Amino acid sequence: MTKTALITGASRGLGAALAEALAPSHHIIAVGRTTGALEELDDRIQAKGGSATLAPMDITNADAMAVLCRGIYDRWGSLDLWLHCAVHAAPLTPTDHIDTKDMAKSIACNITATATLITFVAPLLGKTGQAVFFDDPRAGKKFFGSYGATKAAQIALARSWAAETAQMGPKVQILTPHPMPSATRARFFPGEDRTGLNDQHTEAAAIIAQL
């Protein structure tokens, strides 16, 4: 029976690279907001002989996520792997200049949606599935107020879930990828020399080796 992998934030960056890397062994359920990018990912997955179900959705829409997870249950009955790559990266700004709307988006995506997804996905993973979160430890660094605080809160949720399920499953892992030339990093560090950054496909292969 084909294994299934849900990847939230799959349209670009590390999420897309992980989807491609897992495609030979898993049916990919790719969630992202950009339909065109998901379709391009599907083309690359098919070129590798894999298959994907595309879900152009916003993870902050709890109703859409509920429908998606119910659809996964109806079609496959369970889920083997969840890789949570979706994140809202608010623009860097002094803490006393944080934009209210950007902060609200950061909370909605990085914290609230993550907590909601855990409640939806946990029953699909059961005792034998695996969930993976990706840390980016920037909390407390200058200008990273909204991103750093909400990303740290997301990882705190994952750590609590990992501790709670350590004996019974599912297995919950928190990994810290090496710096990669992603669109998010480009927004944080415009003009950075990217030659020393890790290739996303190389990083994806290293992450899968840790699962």
pLDDT band at 2 (very low <50, low <70, confident <90, very high): confident
CB within 8 Å of 25: residues ≥ 6 apart: 3
CA distances from 167 to 29, 137, 151, 163 (A): 27, 27, 26, 8
The full set of domains in the chain, from first to last, is 3-209 (3.40.50.720)
Q: Residues 145-168: pLDDT tens digits?
A: 999 999 999 999 999 999 999 999
Q: Residues 192-201: pLDDT tens digits?
A: 888 889 999 9
Look at residue 145 in the predicted model and tell me its pLDDT: 96
CB within 8 Å of 120: residues ≥ 6 apart: 65, 66, 69
Q: Which of 50, 26, 52, 27 is nearest to 39 (CA)?
A: 52
Look at residue 190 in the predicted model and tell me its pLDDT: 87
Taking residues 71-95, what's their average pLDDT?
A: 96
Taking residues 47-74, what's their average pLDDT?
A: 97
Q: Are 129 and 78 in contact (CB under 8 A)?
A: yes
